[in-house]
Amino acid sequence: MPELYVGLMSGTSLDGIDAALAELSGGKMRLLHSHYQPLQPQLRENLLALQDEARDELRRAALAANQLSHAYAAAIRTLLAQAEIPPDKITAIGCHGQTVRHQPASGYTVQLVNGALLAELSGITVVCDFRSRDIAAGGQGAPLVPAFHHELFHDASRHRVIVNIGGIANVTNLSPDGIVTGFDCGPGNLLLDAWIMDNQGKSFDQNGMWAAQGTILPELLEALLAHDFFRLPPPKSTGRETFNLAWLKRTCSGTEAAIDVQATLLELTAASISRAIAAHCHGAAEIFVCGGGARNQALVSRLQELLPGTKVDVTDVMGVDAEWLEALAFAWLAHQTMNGKPGNLPAATGARGPRVLGAIYPS
């Protein structure tokens, strides 16, 4: 029988909540309905402040998790009302939570959400804390989407790469022989969004239009690409702890025109992705982009220029809306958990083996 799941994602960019209603049946998934809910400015500020060490963190984190859980519950209510589906028809919610610390080398990762409160508010079983079990098994806890990408997009005759450009960019290498690898390759939208917010008060650069008007600064680009992360071999993952506005400003001389820094940041994202594909996805014939970055036309066009001879497109052409793919992934991960099936891909995360992920809070 078909089962209904809700996937919730609030990513590194801290712009808002993606809520996706998915139907799973016979190994197939279908997006039935979606809803985007911006984060309230105060909540966003609270979550951003928790990215850095400060006083009273435990209390502030607990309060922020409760605030966020209320916001998630509101997004679910709107989603289900628009879809005209009652909560008791939903098998479970797959909730990523909001990452405020990602330190796999130290053995932990923190995604804020109060799973018990969200189950109480929604009346639906909640699955969350997907990354901790992979880290406990020696993995990075990220990226988790490659297993889902394999489920949706693997083709026995075509070598595909799926590029997810959220706050952080990651790639999934789908070889026709069934071997799947994946890893974070660097900043996606995170620095682009942070820089335009800092300079123009806008949450993102629509279609990369501001960046497209600037001039790439070769010295700054090379200084940014000199970060040790880019030289690490996969499996690897990263986050706001590594790539953030403070790091960017330290790397800049301070004399650059803001528009040229934006152009250079777009090139940083495109170059780090294309270099990762060239180094670790040999023979790829098709590249499909998803995540918020898929709607940045300047970025997708630049990827095509940097990867001549390889088809670059968005996942929409395969029937999966690029902007909702990650929320769908957490609906799928919840389904895996509820059915006692592994959700990680050890080749992508570095874990010792497949693991059932997530903590379950019954309705």
pLDDT in tens, 24-77: 998 899 999 999 999 999 999 999 999 888 899 999 999 999 999 999 999 999
Please, which pLDDT band fits residue 3 given cuts at 50, 70 and 90?
very high
- Return d(Cα 10, Cα 111) in angstroms, integer: 10
For 71-115, the pLDDT digits (tens) are: 999 999 999 999 999 999 999 999 999 999 999 999 999 999 999
Q: What is the pLDDT of residue 7?
A: 98
Q: Domain 3-141+324-361 maps to which CATH number in 3.30.420.40, 3.40.50.150, 3.30.200.20, 3.90.1150.10? A: 3.30.420.40
What is the reported pLDDT for 52? 85
Distances (CA, A) of 183 to 113, 143, 144, 233, 281: 25, 6, 9, 9, 11
Pairing of strands 168-174, 160-165: antiparallel
pLDDT at 53: 86
Q: Are 316 and 104 in contact (CB under 8 A)?
A: no
Mean pLDDT of 106-134: 98
Q: Supply the pLDDT for residue 51.
A: 87
pLDDT tens digits, residue range 256-299? 999 999 999 999 999 999 999 999 999 999 999 999 999 999 99
Task: Please answer whether residues 43 and 68 qualify as being in contact, where contact means their C-beta atoms are separated by less than 8 angstroms.
Answer: yes
Q: pLDDT, tens digit, for every residue of 162-210?
A: 999 999 999 999 999 888 999 999 999 999 999 999 999 998 999 999 9
Instruction: Name the pairing type of β-strands 180-187 and 98-103.
Output: unpaired
pLDDT value, residue 12:
81
For 54, the 3-state DSSP assignment is coil
Per DSSP, helices labelled H in the chain are: 41-49, 57-83, 115-122, 132-136, 145-153, 190-200, 209-212, 218-225, 245-251, 258-280, 297-306, 325-338, 346-349
Classify domain 145-322 by CATH number. 3.30.420.40
Q: CB under 8 Å to 347, separation ≥6 — which residues?
A: 146, 179, 180, 181, 182, 235
Q: In sequence order, which residues have a C-beta less than 8 Å from that of residue 75 and are 6 or more positions away?
A: 8, 17, 19, 35, 37
Tokens 């090139």, located at residue:
267
Length of the chain: 363
User: Looking at residue 11, what is its pLDDT?
Assistant: 83
Q: Phi/psi of residue 354, each to 5°?
A: -60, 140
Residue 85: predicted pLDDT: 98
| 252 CB-contact burial (10 Å; exposed 0-12 / middle 13-18 / buried 19+) | middle
pTM attached to this predicted model: 0.93
pLDDT in tens, 310-363: 999 999 999 999 999 999 999 999 999 999 999 999 999 999 999 999 999 999
The tokens describing 96, both together, are 């990523």
The answer to whether the beta carbons of residues 130 and 330 sit under 8 Å apart is yes
Q: Say whether 145-322 and 3-141+324-361 share the same fold.
A: yes
Task: Give the DSSP H or E segment for 352.
Answer: none
CA dist., res. 12 & res. 247, Å (int): 16
65 burial via Cβ count (<10 Å: 0-12, 13-18, 19+): buried
Task: Give percent above pLDDT 70 in the chain.
Answer: 100
What does the mean pLDDT of the chain come to? 96
Cα–Cα separations (whole angstroms), residue 259 to 52, 74, 196: 27, 37, 9
- From residue 256, how far is each of 121, 251, 271 by CA, in Å? 49, 11, 20
Domain ranges of the chain: 3-141+324-361, 145-322
